[in-house]
Structure 1
């Protein structure tokens, strides 16, 4: 198959590509080749365990060949074309992800909690040709097939909706059912076409999402080379063993799950286990049932399990290593988890753009609890802490912006020249807009974000994007969305509003309903509300958020209870 254009993708320059290959950082290996190596060496070893399906490495390789043959032969997907994934943590995700690798098709990760605004934006940005969703095989409270159909109606590029449904369920109108793709006849018909497809490991193998200046996601291309490099290094850092059961505790489309857990396990030839419901009871039952060894939960999830009234009823002694991050991990959470389960703890700072910095399981507890450790590949990762001019390297102990470059980092947002110009230097350094400091022992500490981003339970909320929606509410004249510190989630979004003329009041429920109608994801919606006669402004007329942040304690009643 001839590849399609990747217009808008910023590749690694030829010199760096050559350097990374020569130095052994890049193995010129695709995602499916990692699978096939284990399938050939250990075909009967368990590769994937899900609620409804269990596959050996040999069976997983065969299944992905069947799906790849269908995608290429029946749907006509070609290398470098994009397919949106919006799936829970399930075996079908892993199978389709690896199948796309076989034909050079690029999965684009849309999270289950995203809705119309995000989905339409991502499809328009990437010109995706297919959209993969769950219909009724896993617990959900939303019509994802309906969402995908609506998005398809609005975009000429989007031709196919693929629905995961219960075996034997009736065909869905104008949808491909997942089960129909998993059939050996497609290999018999189109298998040679798949085998002959030349997948370039220097091209994107996946596109992850990040927040954007409009409040909508940016697409982050990650190549097979740079992603597999991090799979290998994360497996090494965490000490993943082939007999471990690795399972994602956050949505599988997050870099935290796909890279640090699923990818590391596949690299090592361990077992990946998936559970679609990520509530404490389900996770505890799942760990006990599958003897889970290795996972990356958010700090709030660890705390929820530690404080769960029934935690003593579950056997969680199979846990070997916990990785956690996405927001600051309270030291007490690290200490309690290590004491209770006798686990190694990787306190991690990571970004979908590439940076992965973490403590090691063998580190002293004080390092695990109070720092995010070191880069996962210290001999290859180039890491600087720079001053406001982005040129001066700051001394040890000084907090500044993290800048990175290396074989495990992306090279530019997809079709976003403005962001790339703002955050990349001409010689390839990526400026993360995160503030860190290096301690004398070489471990790093995280101080916060440089821009106006609220991090709620590991999810990034770009406040101006929510403000742009809320300002359209008929009762609101002006609005500022700010962060309220929260012990459980790190931060929660809150709105401070100035009412429109004639409006007497407005409620949090009204704002939530309004944003729901506009297709804004639930986690972005303000959870607290304060009304002021007028919002403070700077001398040039901008709303002065710093003044509001200084008054957080007065504006909102401090509470850590769930809303």
Structure 2
């Protein structure tokens, strides 16, 4: 295990992911790397598969720095393509297979990849006859047992990127606006995961199960790269369901997973705890105290990590701090080599505890910029390397960082700015509210009213707006943050990182005005509320 003193600068390991992969294959070639559908693949097996994928890529005349978009589910085929790209210095653009047509068109137009790879079975948005893809030549090829659709742009010219070419471009989730392409170098990624493995003691004997997609940092960084560095084993789940996850953990003796709170709720609904599961690491969305209380009761540690796609992760709840606080915490400390500051409205550093301000981060895991978007890069990244996270937080009594919410997620009621996260935080203290998302509802008199979408812990026990208000009054919560509309839903529409899609909620309220005036129960077969229809 690497010593933290050796990791104070990214130059401490001027290696690439390709070099780390080659070293891993030399050291433990026969150790199991991947498990999918009961089939095991050693590091040497996957290395051979990556050579086959490399031969396929070679046919398209790609050069170092070209962008290869890959839209595949979490499977062996995707990983063999990823490793083939690493070896050739190609930049990977992993895309969510569940993007809708509008999101897909926007991303392809903005990123302009040299090559697009997806399955040819029509399951992914890019495998449909998308009009924007008319500029690409389409080919159906076979890689192993998988038929792929490969699209190439004959008129593409490799665009020069100042500094190191990114190893990967990860797309931000885009809860309130268009997604951005986050450029991350080999050093950004390796530094992050060396620290991650050190803090949580990931060893070659560990078996991680991966319910997240490889297009998200939870899957790409903490799933794929962390496993390669540790020489451990990764169990792939191509299509997530709670039952599939449970079978994978029990069948393969999985020791941990890195996921979002929604999946953790699924695990805690099982009647028995999987014996092999040592801990869970949560990222992507805030942890609620109901979940933390349940985790402590079940003796399944849930450690919180905080970061952005632009900075993966830079604050972690260590196992020691978790035990010290008996699991009732979401705070953590910066990883070695990272500087974190909280600024007030005058851009001065806050050093006192329990005073909120804007979270800033600087160090070796901070991204190099947004792809093809210098203007937005300059808005968040200062010339001296400080990243404005856009999040609000404070130092707690232990001087650990607590994240409170997004600075731009504001409801303006009667001229007063009300942070949505404050409303959500208080609502989640209600005994039967599992999740909450607060949004502004247009109002002629006040500008906006406070609307709250909530998911119940027990749907069989009713919750009314009046009951919620009474609870908040009894707990001395100031009246200005009480919700004025309550909409009960079976699940919230979420991004791939587990954050509520506020723009979807606001759009729903616009199209369903009756929901302003009476409680509603909504259900949807799609976690993003974007594929299947809903009936109120």
The answer, yes or no, to whether TM exceeds 0.5 is yes
Rounded to whole Å, the distance in 1 between the matches of 2:330 and 2:401 is: 6
Structure 2 match to 1:102: 87
Alpha-carbon contact 1:396-1:439 (below 8 Å) kept = yes
Q: Tell me the alpha carbon deviations over residues 318-360 of structure 1, each in whole angstroms, 9 at most, x when there is no partner.
A: 11220113222112312323432x3332112221101522212
Flag structure 1 segments of 5+ consecutive residues without an equivalent: 1-19, 178-199, 468-478, 490-507, 509-520, 535-551
Superposed counterparts of 1:127-276, under 5 Å: 127-136=112-121, 142-144=123-125, 146-147=127-128, 150-153=131-134, 156=135, 158-159=136-137, 167=145, 175-176=149-150, 202-211=164-173, 215-276=177-238
Q: Does 1:421 align with 2:378?
A: yes
State the Cα distance separating 1:205 from its structure 2 match: 0.3
Rounded to whole Å, the distance in 2 between the matches of 1:243 and 1:34 is: 18
Alpha-carbon contact 1:244-1:293 (below 8 Å) kept = yes
Structure with the larger RCO, 1 or 2 (CA within 8 Å, 6+ apart)? 1
Flag structure 2 segments of 5+ consecutive residues without an equivalent: 1-5, 152-161, 411-419, 425-436, 442-446, 458-486, 488-499, 525-533
Aligned residue for 2:320, secondary structure, equals coil
Aligned length: 440
Aligned residue for 2:382, secondary structure, equals coil
Alpha-carbon contact 1:47-1:55 (below 8 Å) kept = yes
Q: Does 1:486 align with 2:454?
A: yes
Aligned residue for 2:311, secondary structure, equals coil
Rounded to whole Å, the distance in 2 between the matches of 1:389 and 1:280 is: 47
Alpha-carbon contact 1:43-1:57 (below 8 Å) kept = yes
State the Cα distance separating 1:144 from its structure 2 match: 4.0
Structure 1 match to 2:50: 64
Q: Does 1:432 align with 2:432?
A: no
Rounded to whole Å, the distance in 1 between the matches of 2:382 and 2:69 is: 30
Alpha-carbon contact 2:104-2:126 (below 8 Å) kept = no
Alpha-carbon contact 2:296-2:326 (below 8 Å) kept = no
Alpha-carbon contact 2:52-2:143 (below 8 Å) kept = no
Q: Tell me the alpha carbon deviations over residues 41-75 of structure 1, each in whole angstroms, 9 at most, x when there is no partner.
A: 1111011111274311112222212312321x211
Rounded to whole Å, the distance in 2 between the matches of 1:276 and 1:330 is: 27
Aligned residue for 1:433, secondary structure, equals strand
Rounded to whole Å, the distance in 2 between the matches of 1:237 and 1:201 is: 30
Rounded to whole Å, the distance in 2 between the matches of 1:388 and 1:302 is: 36
Q: Tell me the alpha carbon deviations over residues 135-187 of structure 1, each in whole angstroms, 9 at most, x when there is no partner.
A: 45xxxx8354533764421xx3x4456778882x7x67xx359xxxxxxxxxx
State the Cα distance separating 1:414 from its structure 2 match: 1.4
Distance 1:532 1:224, change over 3 A: closer
Rounded to whole Å, the distance in 2 between the matches of 1:324 and 1:416 is: 30
Q: Tell me the alpha carbon deviations over residues 456-475 of structure 1, each in whole angstroms, 9 at most, x when there is no partner.
A: 9xxxx9x99xx9xxxxxxxx
Aligned residue for 1:422, secondary structure, equals helix
Rounded to whole Å, the distance in 2 between the matches of 1:327 and 1:22 is: 28
Alpha-carbon contact 2:116-2:150 (below 8 Å) kept = no
Structure 2 match to 1:187: none
Distance 1:437 1:104, change over 3 A: same
Q: Does 1:84 align with 2:63?
A: no
- Taking structure 1 as the reference length, the TM-score comes to 0.69
Rounded to whole Å, the distance in 2 between the matches of 1:533 and 1:225 is: 48
Distance 1:287 1:40, change over 3 A: same
Superposed counterparts of 1:316-355, under 5 Å: 316-340=274-298, 342-355=299-312
State the Cα distance separating 1:480 from its structure 2 match: 8.9
1:49 pairs, out of 2, 16, 35, with 35
Alpha-carbon contact 1:135-1:145 (below 8 Å) kept = no
The answer to which of 387-396 and 523-532 deviates more is: 523-532
Alpha-carbon contact 2:209-2:248 (below 8 Å) kept = no
Structure 1 match to 2:479: none
Rounded to whole Å, the distance in 1 between the matches of 2:386 and 2:208 is: 33
Structure 2 match to 1:279: 241
